[in-house]
Amino acid sequence: MTLTRRALLIIATSASLLGVAHADQLSDIRQRGELVVGVLGTDEPNSFIDPKTREIVGYEVDLAKAIAEKLGVKLRLKQLAVAARIPELQQGQVDLLAASLTHNKEREAVIDFSLTTFVTGQKVLVRKDSGIQSLEQLQGRKVVTIKGGTQEPNIRKAVPSVEVVTFDTGPQAFQALQQGKGVAFVNDEVSLLDQFAKLGAGAADYRILPVNLSIEPLALGIRKGEKAFKTQVDTVLRDLEKSGAAQQLFVKWYGPNTRLKFQARDFKIDSDQVPG
C-alpha cells in the first residue's frame, strides 16, 4: 500500500468513525454528562434574567431542566440572539433550543421540533398618539420588531407597504418604540402583554391592536434527523402533561398570580403538528 493510499484510508476511516460518534446525539449528551440548551434570556416569562439571582429562569428553562433531569445530566444554558438560534443548533453549539421558537413549515426543512409547548399569537402594540387603530393604518409607516423571528415576515404579509426596523432583542425593539423610532411594535402576544404591563402608568399612552397577525405554536428546536433525542424530549414533555406538571408550570409562569394573569391554558403538550 502506498503512502498516499494509506493516508486516504486513514482519513476515510476517521471520517467514518466521526460519523458514527455523532450519529446519535442522545448518546453523545449522556456521555458528555451535559445538555447545552440555547435560550434567549430576554423574553419573559419563557426565559429571562431574574433580577435578584442574576440567573436565567422561566417557563422554557423549567422544561429544559426536566429534560436534563430525565437524561441524568447537568443543564447548561447558553444565551442566544433570535437570529442566531437555528445556526447555533445546526453547528452543534447547542443541543436544544428553548428560545421562544415558532414551529412552522419553512423551519421544518432545516431543523426538527418537539411537541408544541405553548400556543400564542402575534399582535401589534401602537403608540396612541399615532392615531392607529387598525392594521391597514400601518401602510407606509415604520414599525419595530425582532431580527430573525417570524414577526417581520408576518407583518410584511399583513401590511405589504410597511417599513420594518429590526433589533436583536425584544427589549431593544420595545425601547425603540418608546423612543419614537417607530409607531408600532410587533411581537408575540405574551411578550407584548408582559411589556405592556411593565409600562405601569405609561400604558395609557399605548394600545394593543385586537387582530392577531398569526397563530404561533412554540416548540423546542432539535437538530435535524436526531430521532432518538427527539423521542426522549417528546417523552419527557408528554410525561409532564400527563402528570399535571405542565399545568403547574403554566400557572407558575403565566397564571392568575403572575403579571400576565392568564386564567386558563387552552392547549395541551400532546402534538407537534403545525396548523394549516
The answer to whether position 102 is within a domain reads yes
Same domain, 171 and 151: yes
CATH of residue 145's domain is 3.40.190.10
The answer to whether position 274 is within a domain reads no
Same domain, 136 and 196: yes
User: What's the structural domain count of the chain?
Assistant: 2
The answer to whether position 15 is within a domain reads no
Structural domain of 107 = 25-120+216-254
Read off the pTM.
0.83
The answer to whether position 125 is within a domain reads yes
The answer to whether position 13 is within a domain reads no
Identify the pLDDT of residue 273: 76
For 158-197, give the secondary structure using H, E and C. HCCCCEEEEECCHHHHHHHHHCCCCCEEEEEHHHHHHHHH
3-state secondary structure at position 19:
helix
Q: How far apart are CA 173 and CA 169, in angstroms?
A: 6
128, three cell numbers: 396612541
Q: Which of 78, 85, 115, 110 is nearest to 100 (CA)?
A: 85
Same domain, 226 and 111: yes
pLDDT in tens, 69-95: 999 999 999 999 999 999 999 999 999
Pick out the chain residues at pLDDT < 50: 1-22
The answer to whether position 1 is within a domain reads no
Helices and strands (DSSP H and E) totals, the chain: 10, 12
Identify the pLDDT of residue 197: 87
Compute the CA torsion angle 138, 140, 145, 148 (nearest 10 deg).
130
Same domain, 46 and 108: yes
Same domain, 69 and 155: no
The answer to whether position 151 is within a domain reads yes
Same domain, 79 and 149: no
Same domain, 139 and 208: yes
Same domain, 109 and 125: no
Same domain, 114 and 153: no
What crossing angle do the helices spanning 227-243 and 59-71 adopt, rounded to 10°?
A: 110
The answer to whether position 275 is within a domain reads no
Identify the pLDDT of residue 195: 87
Same domain, 136 and 104: no
pLDDT in tens, 134-168: 999 999 999 999 999 999 999 999 999 999 999 99
Same domain, 191 and 236: no
Q: How far apart are CA 174 and CA 183, in angstroms?
A: 11
148 dihedral zone (left: phi>0; alpha: psi -120 to 50; beta) = left
Same domain, 209 and 135: yes
Identify the pLDDT of residue 100: 96
Contact 146, 169 (CB under 8 A): yes
